[in-house]
Amino acid sequence: MTRKEEVCFDCSVGDPCDKHVAEQKAADYGRQASIEWASNIRPRKQVWLWENRIPTATPSGLAGRGGTGKTTYVCHLLARLSRGQLPGQYYGQPRRSLIWSGEDSWETVLVPRLIAAGADLNMIGRLSIASYVDGETCEVTPRLPLDTHAMAEGIRASGAVAVLLDPIASTMSGDLHREADVRMAVDALARVADETGAVMMFVRHFGKGGGNASDKMSGSHAFRDAVRSLFLFAEDGDRVVVTQDKGNYAPRGEESFAFRLESITVPTDDGPAEVARVVELGSSEVSVGDVINRAHQYDDAGERTAAEHWLQDYLTENGATPSKVVKAEARKEGISEATLKRAKKKLGVLDRAEGFPRTSTWDLPNRPNSEPTALAHEPTEPTEPTGLDQHKRDEPTEAILQLAHAPESEPTGEPTAPESDPPAPTPLTTRRQELQARRTIRVKGKEVPRCYICAKPVMAGQGDAHLGCLSKQETA
């Protein structure tokens, strides 16, 4: 008797109905339901890779804008795990971990960072996936869920208790904004975590603008929904704030903490290299949401926008620059041309066309030999400064107080020679004084410390001064 003769009357006169097609497919693939009663499942207490923050055998995410130290911080955690110093299930028991990185070089970035963090390099391995094609072996990018079994086998063979995928977007097939595609990848990581007991960590990036910090992870919201713990990163001056945005099994506690990056010298086969390492700063009353919305509120209030800060600092450091170069550098910082033009207009940036062929050059208006253009701000009505106001600009605070409290001299009736007021500071002098007074400077869209010795930006996370400046100061 054929399948068509076995089915119900409704589909016996034509093709089988959807119900019977589904049943036949399930039978062909050997799929069937099974039941296990809760009374046969033994309860176990929740254990933690990182005490009250990251539970074992679960997927965990880290998200933030580029350059906020997410990977460096994970290296810091894995280094502590490799020495048995991470509070949690394995405290006092050094454990192995694995890293797959699609962005950073092991030789020049990851290994030096791990050395700077004090890791036991024998306990941290480079995860890779090999493909066999036409009898040849080649390394390929991991694919989820295709390589779920291969990952689990590698984790079990190595004994690793934590794995980092950086970034997860490189391992996914499908659309990052489609919930079903994201769920397919992250659920695959959850299965690997459940099978091996390892924490499967991944890195994602933030979108632009303000709003709810929980919604800032780019792509589908399923990235957040599918993990059991999620940490958000944001730069706040010379430090990085981290907020635990999600902790399904964790008791309520300090949700935000902070760290800063300092530069140290590590040995390499090619000589010493400067590498950033994490310095823990403890709990933070400021959250990642506070940080990202602070800049957004400035925009709404009509104060300086991030684009204006970036453009002013860029032209201050580089001087007159061809406009096409400025626009190219702004694009690298995620600043659109329309936003850049608004910042240019608000700052009154001078736009000159010179040479042949004609080249447009941008420069700040308060530079020597700068000529005003139509883009500059309209001049305001000049006001004559009083003698006290003029002294306030040019003399120390003590002198101002003495001047304010000095007794007035009695008139003698005799003419006196008029006192000559000191010349008003030039715009360039005022600008230099402002730069020297600021403790930080914005370079390429980031707020970095200004070296208190040479007044130049400290780019490598070395604190408040360049290491070279400090060494020169000590030997002087």
Q: What is the pLDDT along the chain (476 residues), one digit of tens a residue?
A: 444 445 465 565 556 666 666 666 666 776 778 899 999 999 988 899 999 999 999 999 999 888 889 999 999 999 999 999 999 999 999 999 999 998 899 999 999 999 999 999 999 999 999 988 777 888 899 999 999 999 999 999 999 999 999 988 888 877 877 888 888 989 999 999 999 999 999 998 876 655 566 666 666 777 888 888 999 999 998 999 999 988 877 776 667 999 999 999 999 999 999 999 999 999 998 888 888 877 554 444 444 567 787 888 888 878 888 898 999 888 877 787 888 888 888 888 988 887 777 788 899 886 544 444 333 344 444 444 444 444 444 444 444 444 444 454 454 545 544 455 556 665 545 555 555 556 677 666 667 777 767 777 776 656 667 666 766 665 55
Query: 350 by DSSP, 3-state: which?
Result: strand
pLDDT at site 388? 42
Rounded-to-integer distance, Cα 188 and Cα 182, Å: 10
- Domain boundaries defined on the chain: 3-40, 48-294, 305-403, 438-476
pLDDT at site 390? 46
pLDDT at site 135? 79
β-partners of residue 360 are 353
Tens of pLDDT, residue by residue over 324-371, are 899 988 887 778 788 888 888 888 898 888 777 778 889 988 654 444
Check: CATH 3.40.50.300 for 48-294? Answer: yes
| Contacts made by residues 301-309, CB under 8 angstroms, sequence distance 24+ | 305/339, 305/342, 305/343, 306/335, 306/445, 307/335, 307/339, 307/340, 307/342, 307/343, 308/343, 308/346, 308/347, 309/442
What letter would DSSP give residue 243? E
Q: Is the pTM of this model over 0.75?
A: no
Tokens of 14: 């034509």
- Type of residue at 84: G
Contact 84, 149 (CB under 8 A): no
**Percentage helix, strand, coil, to 5, in the chain?**
35, 25, 40
Query: 53 by DSSP, 3-state: which?
Result: coil
Centroid of chain to Cα 237: 13
Provide the pairing of β-strand 129-133 with 136-140. antiparallel
Rounded-to-integer distance, Cα 454 and Cα 471, Å: 13
pLDDT at site 475? 56
- Type of residue at 262: E
Contact 197, 233 (CB under 8 A): no
Provide the pairing of β-strand 199-205 with 160-166. parallel
Rounded-to-integer distance, Cα 211 and Cα 208, Å: 9
Q: What percent of the chain has pLDDT over 70?
A: 67
Tens of pLDDT, residue by residue over 10-63, are 565 556 666 666 666 666 776 778 899 999 999 988 899 999 999 999 999 999
Burial of 104: CB neighbours in 10 Å, binned 0-12, 13-18, 19+:
middle
pLDDT at site 312? 84
Contact 54, 46 (CB under 8 A): no
Contact 354, 322 (CB under 8 A): no
Note if the bond before 382 is cis, omega within 30 degrees.
no
